[in-house]
Structure 1
Amino acid sequence: MRRIAIVGTGFGGYACARHLERWLRPGEAEIVLITPKDYTLYLPLLPQVAAGVLQPRSIVTPLHTRLRRSKLLPGVALDVDLDGRAVNVLKIDGEPVRVPYDVLVLAPGSMTRTFDIPGLREHARGMKTLAEAVYLRDRSIAQLELAAATHDPDEQAARCGFVVVGAGYSGVETAATLQLVTRRAMARFPHLDPGLLRWTLIDIAHAVMPELGPELGESARRLLERRGIDVRLGTTLERVTEDTATLTDGTRLPARTVIWTAGVTPRPVVASLGTETVKGRLVVGADLRVPGCEGVFGLGDAAAVPDLTAAPGTPCAPTAQHAHRQAKTAARNVLAALRGGEMREYRHRDLGLVVDLGGSDAVARPLGIDLSGPPAQLVTRGYHLLTTPSGRSRLRVSGDWLLNMIAPDDLIRLDFLKDSLGTLEELEHMPIRPRARRISVTEPAGSRP
């Protein structure tokens, strides 16, 4: 039987597998999913997990219950052997394996992009995995508790100082939702000056979420500032220590918590092909094929897919909306590669953008219509319910939203990751260490008395 190997089970890989399971004939081909996790994660709602509005399990969909015809290989794709038509994988237990393929779909997604900034790797935290969302929630509450337990004004200022680097969707939603959490938590510490709480959002760009356009982006910035978030544009992080963040404009901010959301980069397996890339993303055709690599397709954050509705040379943005919709084109073209059919090109109609700013606040542009406030929040939540991968997740998300309205979060720490440093390397990049090979010694015949 021929084999379709799919690397990654984010929006693109998961949806592609779902389509293939429906369209493949019995016995036509087997599907092997290469992923370190046994679920697909609905990333846009991570900030609400950090805020305690949603439970972590509400935004995940188990692969075993949704993909019945696919085989799950729990591991990380290290590199692709194009000549041998195989993927080299390191399983989660550290065992290396080789996965031959007839058709390969690369949708490994992305990870947080970092730069050579002093102290960044040691002291910055991210917001791209469930573990990071839960960790940031616990850390934010713990810092206020520790601030209330000391009389040192410098320590109090640092523990009540939070810096978010990156004013894109992830950074803005993270700052907006967690600032509400900490503001509510301050009421539990009457002896702690509320004025000590300081959230700062910085970005080297000169606009907040420029993809939204100048009017909505400015509306979001004004709303954040009314809440007390200090938005600083045209500057970024120069260095970070355990209790300070120094900006490129010379400002030195007391902060024990620096959240890094300044962009993403594809997983390392993408570079192993040795083909042309754009900002780390695979250059692919409009049919999602990787040029010069027979039977290899790329989509989602890992691929620079030409946007046929924009100016020539413009790639599709690395968004969940594109990854989910590219998956259908990828699945059809995988079948065409197996059956000798005609390839299709990926074309789309932009459905708009939604940004949840916590509480009843949001900004959205559905089908080109600018909205803000409660109407935008209604559209935002409706969009998320429509695009959540499973009915069970929709039910849980809806239930969590309703429960949070009736009985708000208790603002307690779960401490599941209390022994973790919470760095990007530990909670997001998560290197799997190859296990030591066992060497068996065979005694020569007749060596025993």
Structure 2
Amino acid sequence: MSQRIVIAGGGYVGLYTALKLQHRLRRGEAEVTVVNPENFMVYRPLLPEVASGTLEPRHAVVPLRAVLKGTRFVAGRLTGVDAERNVATVAPYAGPELNLEYDELVLGLGAMAKLMPVPGLAECGIGFNSLAEAVYLRDHVLRRLEIASATADPELRRRALTFVFVGGGYTGVEALAELQDMAVDVLAGYPEIDPAEMRWVLVEALDRILTTVSEDLAERAMTELGGRGIDIRLGTQLESAEGGELHLSDGTKFQADTLVWVAGTRPQALIGELGLPTDERGRLAVDPTMRVHGTRNIWAAGDCAAVPDEGGGVSPPTAQHAVRQAEQLGENLVADLRGRQALPFRYRGRGEFVTLGKNKAVGEVFGRKLDGSLAWAARRAYYATQIPTWNRTIRVLGDWLVGMPYGHDVVDLGSREQPRGAFEEAAGHR
């Protein structure tokens, strides 16, 4: 009887572990099932360019069913694990829960936004962790420009043209930089708006941005953003956002229609409910082979797990580390099935890139620091070749090549959030 491998999560860990098994397993050796609420994996490094409109949203995702040949896919959400009976419980889109029996279970559930108890944040803020949020933010920013260009109310105008991002890590810096670059680029189509009226604010609690890259690289990014008029508040926290009025810890108060919360992530809430060991930050506790402590056949990697690194710490939550963890995890599953010893995860990062808009980026590759157009081109070349399948690579390159000679689109498709609006209006006038 073939072994049953269940993989919960369709992000980096789920996709790349399944791909490794797809290539390494012998015919009939194991049945692999991937469980994920959506039938695609989001290639997260490309989300900032989805938000700025330089990349088609569908091209920043990998369709799981099309890529994972011979792998069963279940569209649903993991709701529980019975480690004694080796059963994973899954809630599908509709109908009763499913009980999936497993011989090996992989948990790659990723992370969610880490919200602080800031009054008004849940009501006024938006994250930047999903494709939907990236697409929404683009339409939202363009809608603010439309509002500002059409109103004579100075207070409404100031509020619409104030954009605040809380969190100066990768996600916050890249999202703000791309969206600000887009907004400035499209202002030629809004003669009613003076570029100086737009206010872009980055709020960071620490004394520097981009703490996971070298200080020199972070300084280069600061210089680029500051030169574009972006207001960077270091050592500052958001204290309140009730009613859209933002109160910062440095005493500043102002109104803003746009509040993007990108101040860290935490493991999915379900992780703490599984009865498995976790660390002080709520991540699954695993050994160097990524096997969950105290278990024989449960493995975990990515943002939901504290995977040890060679230096005695924990692997950083980056895309390149998650991919390599997944590939090693796939090898370890095959080794375990064949009675061989699983190997520890070892990986040293190749470098980092931070996009700051069109033709603007900073990066560090094998110790060499890059900035400007060279870093921007190197980043694009790297990610285009790393996204799974040549199909996606060609689509991404096509978007970039077609868009290079032209500016950003000013089309606001926010009406897609209410696709039945026109129908309901017509029904109301029968």
TM range (shorter): over 0.9
Structure 2: which 5+ runs fail to align?
420-430
Letter in 2 for 1:296: I
Contact in 2 for aligned 1:158/1:244 (Cα 8 Å): no
Deviates more, 1:97-106 or 1:191-200: 191-200
CA–CA distance in 1 between the matches of 2:195 and 2:378?
33
The equivalent residue for 1:120 is 121
Letter in 2 for 1:28: E
1:138 aligns with 2:132: no
1:33-432 mapped onto 2 (5 Å cutoff): 33-93=34-94, 95-271=96-272, 272-308=274-310, 310=311, 312=312, 314-415=313-414, 417-419=416-418
Q: CA deviation at 1:126?
A: 1.2
Per-residue Cα deviation, 1:92-125 (whole angstroms, up to 9, x for no partner): 2263221111100111111111111111111101
Letter in 2 for 1:107: G
Helix, strand or coil for the counterpart of 1:212? coil
Helix, strand or coil for the counterpart of 1:174? helix
Helix, strand or coil for the counterpart of 2:22? helix
CA–CA distance in 1 between the matches of 2:280 and 2:386?
28
Letter in 2 for 1:72: F
The equivalent residue for 1:429 is none
The equivalent residue for 2:22 is 21
Q: CA deviation at 1:416?
A: 5.0
Helix, strand or coil for the counterpart of 1:74? strand
Alignment root-mean-square deviation, CA? 1.4
The equivalent residue for 1:445 is none
Contact in 2 for aligned 1:206/1:234 (Cα 8 Å): yes
State the TM-score, normalizing by the size of structure 1.
0.90
CA–CA distance in 1 between the matches of 2:195 and 2:404?
25
- Paired residues, number: 417
Change in CA separation of 1:378 and 1:194 when aligned onto 2, cut-off 3 Å: closer
CA–CA distance in 2 between the matches of 1:377 and 1:226?
18
The equivalent residue for 2:423 is none
CA–CA distance in 1 between the matches of 2:389 and 2:331?
22
The equivalent residue for 1:440 is none
Helix, strand or coil for the counterpart of 1:79? strand
Contact in 2 for aligned 1:5/1:101 (Cα 8 Å): yes
Q: CA deviation at 1:76?
A: 0.8
Q: CA deviation at 1:213?
A: 1.2
Structure 1: which 5+ runs fail to align?
421-449
CA–CA distance in 1 between the matches of 2:23 and 2:61?
22
CA–CA distance in 2 between the matches of 1:416 and 1:269?
33
The equivalent residue for 1:434 is none
Per-residue Cα deviation, 1:197-236 (whole angstroms, up to 9, x for no partner): 0000011011110211111101101100101111111012
Q: CA deviation at 1:51?
A: 0.4
Contact in 2 for aligned 1:111/1:128 (Cα 8 Å): yes
Helix, strand or coil for the counterpart of 1:406? coil
Helix, strand or coil for the counterpart of 2:414? coil
Letter in 2 for 1:334: L
Q: CA deviation at 1:187?
A: 2.7
Identity %: 38
Contact in 2 for aligned 1:203/1:235 (Cα 8 Å): yes
Letter in 2 for 1:237: L
Per-residue Cα deviation, 1:31-53 (whole angstroms, up to 9, x for no partner): 01010111111100101011010
Contact in 2 for aligned 1:79/1:273 (Cα 8 Å): no
CA–CA distance in 2 between the matches of 1:295 and 1:370?
42
CA–CA distance in 1 between the matches of 2:254 and 2:169?
21
Contact in 2 for aligned 1:287/1:343 (Cα 8 Å): yes
Letter in 2 for 1:414: L
Letter in 2 for 1:206: D
Helix, strand or coil for the counterpart of 1:277? coil
Contact in 2 for aligned 1:5/1:32 (Cα 8 Å): yes
